[in-house]
């Protein structure tokens, strides 16, 4: 990074928390309730995750299955029902933030960095997760929230990140994106934002070429995050490591 770090933009699903198993279980319950013989195994879901957005994911599956019964109207009903189930499960406290997230967010806020969210999930899902996992004070740290409904095109399109930058009033090289997936990395990179990857249960082993760094666990504070970013930048420029 050439400029001073002034902000962080976080992805949600798979990055703040391992939410995808709750999404998947909610999708499957809804398919049963609507009388479909669909069931998404982990393997199927892993492939479907390359299509971001729950409605888009169902439309892709319907097309793959050549299912004429499933039209846009039914998809919209099922998506609403899926999100209600998801929010209910999250409100019960089924999920926790991934290691490092809370302390990194708190340290960033204390140091005056601006925080944003760029996600392809629905606003109702984000609200449910924020309320369940962050204190009211921590929720207020996030100045810019960009969700699936806010963008014309979801990730890997850069819209969510471009809107996040605009809302924070920052330039791409003043922020770091924190992501867990290849599509998320592509979206952040298309917005010219250097990206730290923390792979999740569905993305371990994926090809994250182009990321600034890939870490199994997010660092607890901004100094460690900056060290990670600059070590990798020095490596990329083939400069000697500072002693
Ligand atoms: C990951 C996604 C989302 C969720 C489902 O979002 O692809 O589509 O799986 O969300 P993120 P909706 O960018 O946070 O990784 O059903 O609300 O669309
Ligand atoms: Mg994600």
State the Cα–Cα distance between residues 109 and 141, nearest whole angstrom: 6
Helix (H) or strand (E) holding 196: strand 195-197
Taking CA atoms, 93 is separated from 41, 99, 217, in Å, by: 24, 16, 22
Strand order across the beta sheet in which 7-10 lies: 142-146, 114-118, 7-10, 175-179, 195-197, 213-214
Cα separation, 239 vs 243, whole angstroms: 12
What are the pLDDT tens digits along the chain (243 aa)?
A: 667 999 999 999 999 999 999 999 999 999 999 999 999 999 999 999 999 999 999 999 999 998 888 999 999 999 999 999 999 999 999 899 999 999 999 999 999 999 999 999 999 999 999 999 999 999 999 999 999 999 999 999 999 999 999 999 999 999 999 999 999 999 999 999 999 999 999 999 999 999 999 999 999 999 999 999 887 665 665 544 433
pLDDT at 33: 97
List residues bridging with 93 in a β-sheet: none
pLDDT at residue 238, as a whole number? 54
The helix (H) or strand (E) run that includes residue 146 is: strand 142-146
Ligand 1: residue of 20, 46, 57 to mutate (most ligand atoms within 8 A of CB) is 57
Q: With beta carbons less than 8 A apart as the criterion, state whether 160 and 13 touch.
A: no
**Ligand 1 pocket member 13 (CB < 6 A):** yes
Ligand nearest to the Cα of 84, by number = 1
Give 124 Cα–ligand 1 centroid separation in angstroms. Answer: 11
Residues 208, 212: Cα–Cα separation, whole Å: 9
Please give the pLDDT value at position 241. 40
Pairwise CA distance, residues 15 & 105, whole Å: 13
- Cα(49)–Cα(180) distance, rounded to whole angstroms? 12
Helix (H) or strand (E) holding 167: helix 159-168
**Residue keyed to tokens 């298309």:** 190
Q: How far is the CA of 238 from the centre of ligand 2 (A)?
A: 30
Q: Count CA within 13 A, CB hemisphere, residue 169.
A: 3
Give the pTM.
Answer: 0.94
pLDDT at 9: 98
* Residue the block writes with tokens 């969700």: 147
The rounded distance, in Å, linking the Cα atoms of 95 and 14 is 11
Counting ligand 1 atoms within 8 A of each CB, the residue from 148, 151, 163 with the most, and so the one to mutate, is 148
């Amino acid at each position: 990074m050439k400029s001073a770090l002034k902000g962080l933009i976080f992805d949600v699903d798979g990055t703040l928390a391992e939410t995808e198993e709750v999404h998947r279980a909610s999708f499957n319950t809804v398919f049963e309730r609507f009388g479909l013989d669909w069931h998404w195994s982990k393997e199927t879901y892993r492939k479907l995750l390359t299509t971001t957005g729950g409605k888009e994911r169902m439309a892709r599956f319907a097309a793959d299955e050549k299912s004429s019964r499933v039209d846009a109207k039914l998809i919209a009903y099922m998506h609403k029902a899926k999100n209600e189930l998801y929010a209910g499960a999250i409100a019960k406290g089924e999920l926790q933030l991934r290691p490092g997230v809370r302390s990194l967010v708190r340290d960033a806020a204390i140091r005056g960095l601006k925080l944003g969210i760029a996600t392809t999930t629905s606003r109702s899902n984000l609200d449910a997760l924020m309320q369940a996992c962050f204190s009211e004070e921590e929720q207020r740290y996030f100045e810019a929230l960009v969700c699936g409904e806010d963008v014309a095109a979801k990730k890997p399109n850069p819209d969510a990140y471009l809107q996040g930058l605009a809302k924070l009033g920052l330039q791409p090289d003043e922020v770091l994106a924190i992501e867990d997936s290849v599509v998320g990395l592509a979206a952040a990179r298309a917005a010219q934002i250097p990206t730290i990857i923390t792979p999740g249960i569905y993305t371990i082993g994926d090809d994250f070429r182009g990321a600034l760094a890939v870490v199994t666990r997010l660092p607890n504070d901004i100094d460690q995050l900056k060290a990670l970013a600059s070590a990798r930048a020095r490596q990329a420029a083939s400069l000697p490591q500072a002693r």
